[in-house]
Amino acid sequence: MSLDPARLTPMANAIRALSMDAVQAANSGHPGMPMGMADVATVLWSKYLKFDPKAPHWADRDRFVLSAGHGSMLIYSLLHLSGYAHPTMDEIANFRQLGSPCAGHPENFLLDGVEATTGPLGQGLAMAVGMAIAERHLNAEFGSDLVDHRTWIIAGDGCLMEGVNHEAIGLAGHLGLGRLIVLWDDNNITIDGSIELSTSEDIEARYRAAGWHTVRCDGHDYADIQSAIDEALADGRPSLVACKTIIGKGAPNKQGTSATHGAALGEAEVAAARETLGWEYPPFVVPDEILGHWRKTGERGADVRGKWEERLSASDKGAELSRRMAGDLPAGFSLADYIAKLYADPKKVATRKASEMALEVINGLLPETIGGSADLTGSNNTKTSQTHGMTVGDYSGRYVYYGIREFGMAAAMNGMALHGGVIPYGGTFLIFSDYCRNAIRMAALQEIRSIFVLTHDSIGLGEDGPTHQPVEQVMSLRLIPNLNVYRPADAVETAECWQLALKDKDTPSVLALTRQNLPQLRSEGDMLSARGGYRLRAARAGRKVVLVASGSEVELACAVADSLEGQGIGADVVSMPCTELFEAQDAAYKAGLLPADVLKVSIEAGVTHGWERYTGLDGLNIGLNRFGASAPAEALFEKFGFSADQIVPKILDKLNG
């Protein structure tokens, strides 16, 4: 398609006009980036991006990620102009208003064509790395006839300054993801002003140090943009295209300054920009001729997609690829047989080891899993016999050595899940969920199936001490909406939790797993963990107490119950592997498990704040409301009160008090 400026300039100006008008109407938003990157985006969508607005879920489409998500009007403009069903012009006119899919930042769950929710800086790029990994992996498995696409990113200075960028580009460079192209909006401006206020970095040199190809262009010169992208395409490495732009280009009095970054231009400046751009049309009107040019860009991909559909139909791998891209597990997937074996032959193992045992079965049944660890493979127990390392030479590997890059890992996992066709799981120590917490949140917000395997889940970690001992992490992860936090008590629950995590397409999961060995407490029952909490043991004497515990403390709760029962005090033990699933049960089930008229006692080796939800103001919460210490695990559990000998008297006091 011709890149004649006479044709492209009005197309780019359509983006500028929609962006400044929508922000002005909302009196809120970021006009600077869309106006600055309009030319680059127009070239990309007109000539390079492989997409078909009529089939936004086409598996082999290029992925386009607006990592600088605050510039959301750029992608809303592109989607509308190129012919996606949404956003409509009305929806654009209602930018940032309740009910419009044109949210302040682009949300993957609101609009087709928004491949990732972006806004938290750096993560769009880091998720794109995961998309590119998924693409190469599926290409290795399904061949170039079926999987052969690129991942494009528009990123700003903010994305590049964030630490997660370092992790992401290090991973991409190491894995040689040559089909990844970052278009950097090199405009010298951040919110606080010139980038010179805060940075002196040679960004291109840094990217090259990470194994990337870099090239520069004038981001307002169509031919130069084209030649830079062509150079990027020709290079085997991932590419950074530094597009020198003027932020807010077209707004004559404000362009090139941070005044255009994050606020409406104002009526006068919008009018002046219309003049400057020669844009004579009212807000939210794009003349037919310009719209026609844009719609043609949206029609480029139809033929390519049609041929791809034919190849898919003809391929003996087509059905399998379609299944995977739909996110469906193979029919009948279940760990029931494995759990039956555990019932027959109980195992006393750490739940991290139990997780490995379950994964050995899962990875055999599900070819779509891709495991990994942030340099704790042997500790997280995330590698099984089916998963060899993914390398530049062999993308068929189902195991990613993420390096010491927790945030980059979690974001890349999210990108894989967003891409589809694979189910990512990855491990680190639970404490380092702190390092990737916002990516875990972004998995929840984006409603995707990322599975975080977080081991060493309490002071049971032992000698490494308080920097490595989670205390508040389990409870704090429970606070994230749409995230299932599993803390299984034994090998059986671990398998059940894995099955639940895998079957839930729209909710990410955390598996909090022990370093230390735990006895197998379950020898019967069918997927009891699906209820979130369940009665593991019923009181024998008259029930006066219900003990609620999770993970490694369920064993302790059983010991406490034994002691109480020995004194004639009946005590239920409720195992609570997942409070979120328990919350979803009906009121009768919950009241039956945690009745009003008995003393309810929670036991968990973490902060107690939050357990009052189940134990009430009259209950007793056994936990750890301080940082841990460095010592062997047994010594720590004893020191911090986690023994039946120390807990039982507290319960007796409560009962008698």
Numbered residues of the known binding site: 30, 70, 119-121, 157-158, 187, 189, 261, 352, 379, 432, 456, 464, 468, 515
Binding site per annotation, positions for Mg(2+): 157, 187, 189
Secondary structure string (H, E, C) spanning 115-151: CCCCCCCCHHHHHHHHHHHHHHHHHHHHCCCCCCCCE
Residues 343-382 vs a second copy: string with x where CB under 8 A?
A: ------------------------------x-xxxxx---
**Residue among 635, 644, 652, 655 that touches a second copy (CB under 8 A):** 635
**Residue among 612, 646, 652, 654 that touches a second copy (CB under 8 A):** 612
Residue with tokens 């120390």: 646
Least CB distance from residue 317 to a second copy, whole Å? Answer: 30
Secondary structure string (H, E, C) spanning 226-242: HHHHHHHHHCCCCEEEE
Cβ(118)–Cβ(159) under 8 Å?
A: no
Beta bridge partners of 486: 511
Least CB distance from residue 477 to a second copy, whole Å? Answer: 8
69 binds a second copy (CB under 8 A): yes
What part of residues 457-476 is at the interface with a second copy (CB under 8 A)? 462-468, 471-472, 475-476
637 binds a second copy (CB under 8 A): no
Residues 6+ apart with CB under 8 A from 383: 356, 371, 373, 377, 399
- DSSP assignment of 194-255, as one string? EGGGT----HHHHHHHTT-EEEEEETT-HHHHHHHHHHHHHSSS-EEEEEE--TTTT-TTTT
Least CB distance from residue 425 to a second copy, whole Å? Answer: 16
What part of residues 270-309 is at the interface with a second copy (CB under 8 A)? none
**Residue among 11, 12, 22, 26 that touches a second copy (CB under 8 A):** 26
**Residue among 5, 306, 632, 649 that touches a second copy (CB under 8 A):** 632
CA-to-CA distance for 237 and 611, rounded, in angstroms? 51
117 binds a second copy (CB under 8 A): yes
**Residue 50 vs 70, nearer CB to a second copy:** 70
Query: How many chain residues touch a second copy (CB under 8 A)?
Result: 108
CA-to-CA distance for 225 and 238, rounded, in angstroms? 17
650 binds a second copy (CB under 8 A): no
Residues 6+ apart with CB under 8 A from 209: none
Least CB distance from residue 266 to a second copy, whole Å? Answer: 17
**Residue 198 vs 334, nearer CB to a second copy:** 198
**Residue 103 vs 354, nearer CB to a second copy:** 103
- DSSP assignment of 512-542, as one string? EE-SSEE----SS-SSGGGGSSEEEE--SS-
What part of residues 320-349 is at the interface with a second copy (CB under 8 A)? none
**Residue 629 vs 652, nearer CB to a second copy:** 629
**Sign of dihedral through CA atoms 474, 478, 479, 483?**
positive
Least CB distance from residue 259 to a second copy, whole Å? Answer: 11
CA-to-CA distance for 132 and 152, rounded, in angstroms? 9
Which segment (80-88, 508-516, 625-633, 643-651) binds a second copy by CB under 8 A?
A: 625-633
How far from 346 is each of 336, 339, 361, 491, 518, CA to CA, in Å?
15, 10, 17, 8, 11
C-beta contacts of 526-531 below 8 A and 24+ residues apart: 526/336, 527/496, 527/499, 527/500, 528/493, 528/496, 528/575, 529/486, 529/488, 529/493, 529/496, 529/497, 529/500, 529/577, 529/578, 529/581, 530/496, 530/500, 530/581, 531/581, 531/582, 531/585, 531/589
Binding site per annotation, positions for thiamine diphosphate: 70, 119-121, 158, 187, 261, 432
Least CB distance from residue 554 to a second copy, whole Å? Answer: 21
Residues 376-415 vs a second copy: string with x where CB under 8 A?
A: xxxx---------x-----------xxxxxxxx-------
Residues 202-241 vs a second copy: string with x where CB under 8 A?
A: xx-xx-xxxx------------------------------
> Residue 280 catalytic?
no
Which class for 218: exposed (0-12), middle (13-18), buried (19 or more C-beta within 10 A)?
A: middle
442 binds a second copy (CB under 8 A): yes
Cβ(16)–Cβ(34) under 8 Å?
A: yes
Neighbouring CB atoms inside 10 A of 305's CB total: 19
Residues 496-535 vs a second copy: string with x where CB under 8 A?
A: ----------------------------------------
**Residue 435 vs 642, nearer CB to a second copy:** 435
CA-to-CA distance for 203 and 67, rounded, in angstroms? 17
Binding site per annotation, positions for substrate: 30, 261, 352, 379, 456, 464, 468, 515
Beta strand residue intervals within 26-107, DSSP E: 63-66
**Residue 566 vs 616, nearer CB to a second copy:** 616
What part of residues 541-600 is at the interface with a second copy (CB under 8 A)? 596
604 binds a second copy (CB under 8 A): no
The angle formed by the CA atoms of residues 606, 609 and 614, to the nearest 5 degrees, is: 100
**Residue 160 vs 225, nearer CB to a second copy:** 160
Least CB distance from residue 495 to a second copy, whole Å? Answer: 26
Catalytic residue, chosen from 115, 356, 368, 406, is 406
What part of residues 153-172 is at the interface with a second copy (CB under 8 A)? 157-158, 161-167, 170-171
**Residue among 480, 510, 512, 648 that touches a second copy (CB under 8 A):** 480
Exposure of 19 in the CB half-sphere (CA atoms within 13 A): 35
Which segment (93-101, 313-321, 351-359, 518-526) binds a second copy by CB under 8 A?
A: 93-101
CA-to-CA distance for 625 and 606, rounded, in angstroms? 7
627 binds a second copy (CB under 8 A): yes
Positions marked active-site: 406
